[in-house]
Amino acid sequence: MQAKRILFATLNWGLGHSTRSIPLIRHFFNQGHEIILASDGQAGILLRQEFPDLTYYELPSYNITYSENSFYRHWARRLPQILNTISQERREIANLVDELELDVIVSDNRYGVYDPRIKSIILTHQLSFYLPPAFSRIISTVIRKMIDKFDQCWIPDFEGEVNLTGLLSKGSLNIEKKYIGLLSRFEIEACSPEYDLGIIISGPEPSRTLFQVQIEELILKLPQNLKMFWVLGKPGSLDIVDSTTSVVFNHLGSKELGYLLNRTEIVISRSGYSSIMDYILLKKKAVLIPTPNQPEQLYLANRLKDYSQFYICDPNSIDLKSGIEKLRTSNEPIRREIQNHIPLL
């Protein structure tokens, strides 16, 4: 197999797009390909921490935020800026293809990161959107037209009965569509729990901070002898707070976080798709709390209600105590899907 020069770009929408890309980047690197990274913001910081020896380029930022008010008004106002950013990154990628003599582009949900002169792959699980029908048809049509500008679409999921993403990954394309299985940067270990709870805070601001404050208040209502660790989803800062029963990290690398996740009984986190893939492959019990005003997370959480390893909370009425008690007393076997099967480039 001939080594290729690959540009791998991830969307800065929380950290999930970068974390799920890590196993793909490792895979291509281990095959002998030359990898060049591109992203922006916190996602870019995470990639540089994971792969400090790889070349990195900063791309234009989408400046994605969440609104506590109307989902539709918020994104309608942001749409012109997002489309302008896609145009900017499209121009920058054309220059990078020439400058770096690239062979392949892999883009995790960055719709302007492609070039018709070389093989361009988009990694996404969203071809359709869980929205009111009229709005969903419009947005889905626009997104699929942008995806059709690539050569292939790789979906981190399975077809058939074990499909997790449901209608989100359904929809016809004019390019080749491949289901590549679940992606996780972690490996499962056989070990005993050392922590009762692992609390993972994530998402774009201001949602991330609001979630942290909300969980901090709810944790105070639980028994205070619970041993727990927190990861605050803030790459770029290494501050650690250590007490008798709680350890707080602003950010952890994949190796360190994987070690802790394998050794915790129950995780508390958002229901982002990258996190869900991690917990399924680690056979980890989790209390999942969808992000308000993010229909995708609400939809995914609803699809997971029959998974014995998950307890789904209403984001407007979070009952951590009931979730933890139910997961601790459940004796149902945890299902685990098979590992990924990454196509050749």
Q: How do the pLDDT tens digits run along the chain, 345 residues long? A: 689 999 999 999 888 999 999 999 999 999 999 999 999 999 999 999 999 999 999 999 887 666 566 555 655 676 778 888 889 999 999 999 999 999 999 999 999 999 999 999 999 999 998 877 777 788 888 899 999 999 999 999 998 888 999 999 999 999 999 999 999 999 999 999 999 999 999 988 888 999 999 999 999 999 989 999 999 998 876 666 666 678 999 999 999 999 999 999 999 999 999 999 999 999 999 999 999 888 899 999 999 988 999 999 999 999 999 999 999 998 888 877 766 677 777
Residue for token digits 């591109």? 38
**98-112 per-position pLDDT tens digit:** 999 999 999 999 999
Q: Angle of helix 16-30 relative to helix 273-282, nearest 10 degrees?
A: 60
pLDDT recorded at residue 333: 80
pTM of whole model > 0.85? yes
- Which domains can be identified in the chain, with CATH numbers? 5-179 (3.40.50.2000), 195-329 (3.40.50.2000)
pLDDT recorded at residue 21: 97
pLDDT recorded at residue 137: 84
**318-329 per-position pLDDT tens digit:** 999 999 999 999
pLDDT recorded at residue 290: 95
Q: What is the 3-state secondary structure (H, E, C) of the chain?
A: CCCCEEEEEECCCCCHHHHHHHHHHHHHHHCCCEEEEEECHHHHHHHHHHCCCCEEEECCCCCCCCCCCCHHHHHHHHHHHHHHHHHHHHHHHHHHHHHHCCCEEEEECCCCCCCCCCEEEEECCCCCCCCCHHHHHHHHHHHHHHHCCCCEEEECCCCHHHCCCHHHHCCCCCCEEEECCECCCCCCCCCCCCEEEEEECCCCCCHHHHHHHHHHHHHCCCCCCCCEEEECCCCCCCCEEECCCEEEECCCCHHHHHHHHHCEEEEEECCCHHHHHHHHHHCCEEEECCCCCCHHHHHHHHHCCCCCCEEECECCECCHHHHHHHHHHCCCCCCCCCECCCCCC
For the chain, the C-alpha Rg in angstroms (whole number) is 20
Could you count the other beta carbons within 10 Å of the beta carbon of residue 121? 23
Note every long-range contact of 137-142, with CB atoms under 8 Å and residues 24 or more positions apart, other chains counting. 140/171
Residue for token digits 């945890």? 334
Identify which of 322, 281, 328, 288 has the alpha carbon closest to the alpha carbon of residue 305: 288
